[in-house]
Chain A
Amino acid sequence: MNPYSLAKRMARLLERSVISMAFLPLGISVLTSELPISTTPNTISDIKSIEVIPQTLTLKLGDGSETFVVSAIDKDGIRRDVTSDFLLESNDIIERVGIYQIRGKSPGSATLSGTWNNHRIAFTTSVSEETDPAPLSFVRDILPTLSRAGCNGGSCHAKPNGQNSFELSVFAYDPKSDYDEIVSDARGRRIFPAFPPESLILQKATQAVPHKGGKRFEKGSLEYNRISEWIAEGTRYTTPGEAPLSKIQISPGQGRFAPGSRHQFRVEAHYEDGQTRDVTHMADYAVSDKELLAVSTSGGVEFGNQSGQGVVLARYMGHNAQVKVTIPNHHTDGTRTPSDFTETNFIDTLAANHFANLGLSPSARCSDSTFLRRAFLDGVGRLPTIAETREYLDDERPAKRKRWITRILDDPRYGDYWANKWADLLRPNPDRVGVKSVFMLDRWLRQSFRENRPYDQFVREIINHRGSNHGEGPAVIYRDRRVPTELSSMFSQLFLGVRMECAKCHHHPFEKWSQADFYQFAAYFGSLKQKGAGLSPPISAGTEVFYFAPGGSVKHPITDEAMLPKAPDGPVETELNQEPPRQRLAEWLTGSGNPYFSRAIVNRVWANFFSRGFVNPVDDFRDSNPPVNEPLLDGLAEHLVKNGFDLKKLMSAIMNSSLYQLSTNPNESNLNDTKNFSRFYRKRLPAETLLDAISDVTRVPEKFDGMPPGSRAVEAWTYKIESQFLDAFSRPNASSDPPCERDEKSSVVQALHLMHSDNIQSKLSAPKGWVASLASSEKSPREIVEQLYLAVYTRYPSSEERAIAEAAIPETRSARAQGIEDLLWALINTAEFVFNH
C-alpha cells in the first residue's frame, strides 16, 4: 500500500462524520509528525493468527447485509485490519457485497473458510429462509434512524425548548415523549399517514421545505424509506412481542493496533429475547482522544501516529459500549531508544511498564539546577534563593535530591501555595456571598494546608460543616450553593472527579450516571438548613448559620418521587433517623471502599507537578475518558490511602520518582508524547507564582490594596484585589460561572505586560531594589552576572553567557544601574524564566 497522508484521510473522514460530531467535538488530530506510516506488517511471518468477526455469521435472506471484519494479529499482539485482502472461498450460501459486507445467497449452514496471505481460517455460517419483514417500530427502528441523522443532538432539536418548536430528548433518553412529539404534536403535521412523503418530518429532513439543520438524508435513502414505511404502517410505537434492547457490544475488544492504520469495528445489539442485530451502521461513535483516534460514522477507526491509549465508544439507543485501544510507538521493532531510566520507587516501576507497552523511551534525567528550580516551583510556588541554590549545587552528600525534597515540602510557603490551588476551586463570588465570608474561607484553607491536614479530614470538615459564614471555615460554600443540587454537582466534581451536572437534565450520553443518581446524591443535602441574613448582593454582609434539621426532601424532576440519599455506586441510605445524612456521605466519600475519592485527589496533585493529570480535565473521570496509565493512578491512590491521606507524603513520593526528574528534552521516541509523561512537559508559571518570582528577583515586593505591605501574590484572597499582572496572566475570576479553570496559556497581553508594564519597570529601577543595590556595590560584573543567573535561572551562567552578560554591564559606575537593569529585564523576559521546565 502506498504511503498516504493520514491528515488528508482524516479530513475526508471528518466530512463524513458530521453526524456523530453533533455531540462530541470529534475533530481530527493535528498529526504533524512526518514519520513514515506502515500499514502492513513487514513480513507475513510476523503474523501469529487471524480472526474473523463475528465468529458465527447468522444471516437471513432478504434482510440486507452484515458487517464482517478480518484482523491479523502479529507476534507483538498488534492487530491489523486485513479484510480487504481476505479471500472468501467460493460457496453457495453467502456472498460479499462490499469489503465489510456479507449477504445471504441461499438457505443453509456450513463451516466456511477463507485465506489471507496463506493464513487460513474457518468460521461457521448459517442462512435462514426469507420471511415477511417484521413491521417497523418507533423504538426499534425509527428512533435509531433519527438519532443517527443527528436530529436529537444537544444543539439541534434536543436543546432546551427544541428547535423551531420541535423538541426531542437528548440522545433519545425519553422515547415516549419523542414519540408523542412526532406523532401527536404540531397538530399531527409532522406525520401524514394518507401520503407519507407529505409528512413534515420527511420533507424537512430532505430539505424539500427549508430546514435550518440542512439535509439530513436523501429522498429514497434507506432512512427515508424506513420512516416512510413506518408511517404507512400506522406509526407503531413498538411491535407485538418486541423484546427490549439489553446491551450492545463492540468488537474487536481491547487490543493493540498499529499506528497509522485503520480498523473496522462491528457493533451488535442484543435483545432480551436473545436475538442480536448488526447495528454498526446505526450506532453513533466517539473517541476519547481526538489526537490519537478518529472514527467514521460507519465504525471505521483511524489510529494516529502518536503512541498512546484511548477508548472507542459506540452508542445506540441509550446503551453504550466501549473498547480500550493501545497504539504502540513505531519504534517497537526491538531497537528502543536507550534510556538511563532508573526505577526509584513504585511510580517508576509502573511508569516503566507503561512505556514498555507503548514503546516509549523516557527522556534523560534532568540537571541538578533544573530539578531544584522545578521542585521549589511545583512544591511551594517560589524560586529557590541564591543561598539555597549554591548550597544545593555544592552539596556532595548522597541522596541529595531526596533530602532537599523533604526540606522544600517543609518550607513555610507550602501552605499558601496549596491553599491557593484549593481557593481556585472553592472560592465563591464575593459580590454574591460577601467579602467577609470569602475571607473566612480563605483563612481556613490556609490554616488547613499550613498544618498539612489529612485530605480526608479536610473534606469531611467541608461536608459536615455547620455554623456561621462569619466564623473561620467553609460555611460560605453553603451560603453560595443554596440548593441541594448545586452542592451535589460541586462536590461530585471536586471530590469524586465526576461531573454529574449533565445528569441533572438528561441521561448523559456515553455515561453511566442517570438522572436518578444525580437526585439521589443531591438528597444528602435535603436536610441542610440556613437561618439568618441571606444573600443581598453586592455587599451581602449578613451573617447566616447553617445547620441540620430533619425533613426537606429532594425530588426527581420527572417522577416527582422523593429520593433517598445515595452516592454513585454507594449504598442507599435507608435508616437515617436523626443523623444528618451529610455525615454518612462524608464517611462514604472518604472511606477506603470508595475508589473515586483517592483517585480524584491524586489526579489533581499529579497535574500540579506534571502539567496534566492522568485524566483531563482533572475533574472529569468517566468511562469514555479513561486515565493514561491507570495502574499508576491506582498505585498512587493506594499509597495515599495507606499513608492516611497525607498529601505531603504523596508529593514526596511523586517528587522522588525518576519520572518527575526527567528532562524536558525529547528523544527520538517521545518527541510527540504529550500525555504519557515520558518526558517532563513545560508549563508557564501560574500568575501568582510568576509575580512573586519577579518581586523576589527584583527584591521589590508587590503592593496590593487592602493587604499588609510585603504581602505576596499567593496570599491575595480575592480577585477583587486589583492587579493588572494577575489579570493578564489569567488568575481565575470568581465571578465566572462555572468557575473558570485556571488558564495557563500564553497570550500577547502577557508578553506586552512583561515587556512594558510600568510596574515591572519600577521594580527594576526602584532605588531600594536589587538592581540599585548591585550597582552601588563593590561587586565585579562577573559576580553580578553570577548572582543574577542564580537568582533568575537557579544556575550558573555558561562562559558564553558570562561574556555576553558581563559586556552588558558598563565600567562607568553611573551607567552600571542601567546596564544591570537591562540585563535583569532581558532575563525575566525569557522563556527560561517564565516557564517551569
Chain B
Amino acid sequence: MSRFNTKCNGVSRRDFLQLGLGGSIGAGLGNLLRMKANAASAPEGSSKKDINCILVWLDGGPSHYETFDPKPDAPSGIRGEFGTIPTSVPGLHFSEVVPHMAKVANKVSIIRSIAHTDPNHGGGNHYMMTGAPTPVPVSCGAVVTFHPSFGSMVSYDRGIRGGLPAYMSLPRVSRSGGPNFLGGEHAPFVVDGNPNDIKFRVRDVVLPKEIAESRAASRRDLRRALDRLPRFTDAAAKDPAVTFDQYYEQGVDLVTSPRAQEAFDIFNEPESTRDKFGRNDLGQRLLMARRLVEVGVSFVTVYYGGWDNHTKLFERFKGSFMSKLDQGIGALVNDLDERGMMDNTLLVVLGEFGRTPKINKDAGRDHWPHAMSVLMAGAGVPRGGVVGATDSKGYYASENVYRPEDFAASLYTKLGIDPHQILHKSSGRPVQLVNNGRLIKEIFT
C-alpha cells in the first residue's frame, strides 16, 4: 500500500520543518529566522513580523505619580513625598525614585493619557493584557480570561519559529495572559526560577543537568530506531502522530542548535552586563528576556507584581522594590539600543491602572483607572516622546486620551498584526481582535 508509509522513519522531517534550526551553523540564528520569516510572509509589512516584544507587567497597578507623571505643583496630599528630577529630555520630569529611567527618557516614549473605567485588578488586568474589557464585572482577586492575551495572539499569528515557543512568560503567567479560544498551544511557556540564582536554567529547552550532549544524542538515536508506530503521512488522514513528529523535530532542532543553547544560558553574558541590569531576580529576568527575543522568541512577558500599594507606598518605593525596576528598565533600554535591537524590539512597561490622586490614611494610594502611564520604546516608537497628559493634579487623562483598545491596536500594529481582524470562537461566533481601537498616532511618526 503506497498511500501511507509504514516505515518507522516514514516522516520526512524536512517536509514539515519550515523554520528549523538544524543545519543553520554559519548563518546567525537571528538572521536565518528573519530571512525565513520574510520569505514566509507577504512582502508588505514583512519586517514588522520580525519585531519581537518584551512586555513588563507591573501587576497591581503602579502609581503614575511616583513614576512618569509626577505633579509637583499639586497639594501635598496628592503630590506625595517625592520630588521630581529632570530627565534626558529637556522639560520632562519623572519622579525622583526612577533616576535610571529618567536617564533613558530620550530613548523611549511615555504615554500619560491611557484611561479606562475598570477599577478592579481582575478586570483591569484583563483589559490591559488583552485589549478587551471583561463582559461582566470581575472582582479584584479573580484571574479570568475571556479574550486572547497579546502574547497568545502573537503566538497564534506567527507560530513556532525554530522550535522556539513564540510566547514566553517569566517567572509566571500574568493573570489574563492566557490564550482563551486560541487554544492551549498558544499558552505562554513559563520560564520559572530565578536567573540570578547560580543554578538557574531555562527549563525544558536545555538538557537536564546530568545528561551530557553525547548521551542525549544517543538517546535520540535509540528513540528513532525504536519508533515503530506507522505514520499516515497523507494529509487527508489527519494523523495526529504526524503533527507530534513535527513538534518533536522542532524541539530537537532547538536543543541541538548551539546558538539557541547559548542564548538560554545567562551565564554566557559578560559580568559587566549582568551587573548593569542589577544582580537581582528582576534585573536578570529582564536580561533573560532580551536574550530570548534576541534568539527569536516573539513575545516575552516579564511579570513583576507588588504594585497594589494601598499602604506605605512611599516607604516601599524608597527601597529595592522600585530601584530594581528602575535599574533594570534603564539597563534594558540602553542594552537594546547599544545592540541595535531597538528597531526590531518593542518594549512595553505597564500595569492595569494608575493610583488615586489623594493619598489615603495609610500612606498609600488606591485603584484609579482614569489615568495611567505606559512606557513604550523601540519598533519606531519616538525617542524622547511624551504622549498626552493628565490634568494638573493627575486626576484624569485630559489630553489625547486613549483607551486600552487604542493601546492594543497600536501594539498589534507595531508587531505587524491586523488589530481589526476577525477571529472565530469554536462556536463559529465572530470576534474582532480589537474592538474599534484606533492607533496612538504619536507613536507612529
Contact = CB atoms under 8 A, between A and B. Distances in A.
Given A153-B430, A831-B241, A748 B163 contact: yes
B145 A736 contact: yes
Interface stretch (A56-64, A379-387, A667-675): A667-675
A747 B185 contact: yes
Nearest to A762: B208
A831 B229 contact: yes
Given A159-B432, A672-B237, A743-B183, A751 B143 contact: no
A746 B247 contact: yes
Given A32-B236, A682-B239, A745 B185 contact: yes
Contacts of B140: 537-538
Nearest to A32: B235
Contact of B226 (A683, A724, A727, A830): A830
A785 to B, nearest CB: 10
A724 B190 contact: yes
Nearest to A755: B251
A825 B223 contact: yes
Nearest to A818: B215
Contacts of A45: none
B171 to A, nearest CB: 12
B248 interface: yes
A740 B251 contact: no
A757 B203 contact: yes
Interface string B249-287: 011101100000000000000000000000000000000
A232 interface: no
**Main DSSP-derived SS at the A contact region:** loop
B426 interface: yes
A388 to B, nearest CB: 22
Given A727-B190, A825-B219, A746 B428 contact: no
Nearest to B253: A748
A804 interface: yes
A306 B234 CA distance: 13
B203 A758 contact: yes
A153 B229 CA distance: 46
Contact of B247 (A744, A750, A757): A750
Interface in A814-835: 818, 822-823, 825-827, 829-832, 834-835
B72 to A, nearest CB: 37
Contacts of A153: 430
A186 interface: no
Given A431-B141, A733-B178, A537 B204 contact: no
Given A153-B430, A733-B178, A801-B226, A751 B247 contact: yes
B243 A746 contact: yes
Contacts of B185: 730, 743, 745-747, 749
B241 A740 contact: no
Nearest to B181: A740
Interface string B186-226: 01011010000000000111111111000100110011011
A805 interface: yes
Nearest to B189: A749
B316 to A, nearest CB: 21
B239 to A, nearest CB: 6
A748 B142 contact: no
B211 to A, nearest CB: 7
Interface string B401-427: 000000000000000000010101011
Contacts of B343: none
A154 B423 CA distance: 12
Contact of B145 (A33, A737, A761): A737
B240 interface: yes
Contacts of A102: none
Max count, chain A CB within 10 A of own CB: residue among B3, B189, B219, B428: B428
Interface string A621-635: 000000000000000
Interface string B1-43: 1011000000000000000000000000000000000000000
A730 B204 CA distance: 16
B312 interface: no
A749 B169 CA distance: 13
Contacts of A163: 436
Contacts of B236: 31-33, 306, 671-672, 674
Interface residues of A, number: 83
B435 interface: yes
A349 interface: no
Given A32-B236, A682-B241, A830 B229 contact: yes
B232 interface: yes
Contacts of B225: 804
B227 interface: yes
A827 B178 CA distance: 32
A617 B181 CA distance: 13
Nearest to B235: A32
Contacts of A22: 430
B245 A831 contact: yes
Interface string A359-399: 00000000000000000000000000000000000000000
Given A749-B189, A804-B222, A822-B222, A740 B237 contact: no
A830 B223 CA distance: 7
Given A23-B430, A668-B1, A752-B204, A538 B237 contact: no
A672 B233 CA distance: 11
Nearest to A789: B226
Chain A CB count within 10 A is highest, among B209, B235, B248, for B248
Contact of B144 (A665, A735, A745, A825): A735
Contact of B223 (A161, A727, A826): A826
Nearest to B208: A761
Contact of B142 (A32, A538, A832): A538
Given A761-B211, A830-B226, A724 B203 contact: yes
Contact of A672 (B183, B229, B230, B234): B234
A204 interface: no
Contact of B235 (A30, A501, A683): A30
Nearest to B227: A830
Contacts of A209: none
B122 interface: yes
Given A155-B430, A724-B190, A733-B178, A756 B229 contact: no
Contacts of B145: 733, 735-737
Contacts of B178: 733, 735-736
Contacts of B430: 22-23, 25, 153-155
Contact of B229 (A765, A826, A832): A832
B142 A432 contact: yes
A222 interface: no
B238 interface: yes
A752 B205 contact: yes
A499 interface: yes
A751 B219 contact: no
Interface in A5-24: 22-24
B160 interface: yes
Nearest to A743: B184
A482 to B, nearest CB: 10
23 contacts: A23-B430, A159-B432, A212-B420, A429-B143, A502-B429, A536-B139, A537-B140, A666-B237, A668-B1, A671-B232, A735-B178, A740-B181, A745-B184, A747-B247, A748-B163, A749-B185, A755-B248, A798-B228, A804-B226, A829-B248, A830-B228, A832-B227, A835-B240
Given A30-B235, A537-B122, A724-B190, 4 more contacts: A429-B142, A535-B139, A538-B141, A740-B180
Interface of B: 1, 3-4, 122, 139-146, 160, 163-165, 178, 180-181, 183-185, 187, 189-190, 192, 203-211, 215, 218-219, 222-223, 225-232, 234-241, 243-245, 247-248, 250-252, 254-255, 420, 422, 424, 426-432, 435-436
Ranked nearest first, the 8 interchain pairs of A and B with the lowest CB-CB distance are: A538-B141, A730-B184, A672-B236, A743-B184, A537-B141, A826-B223, A751-B251, A155-B430
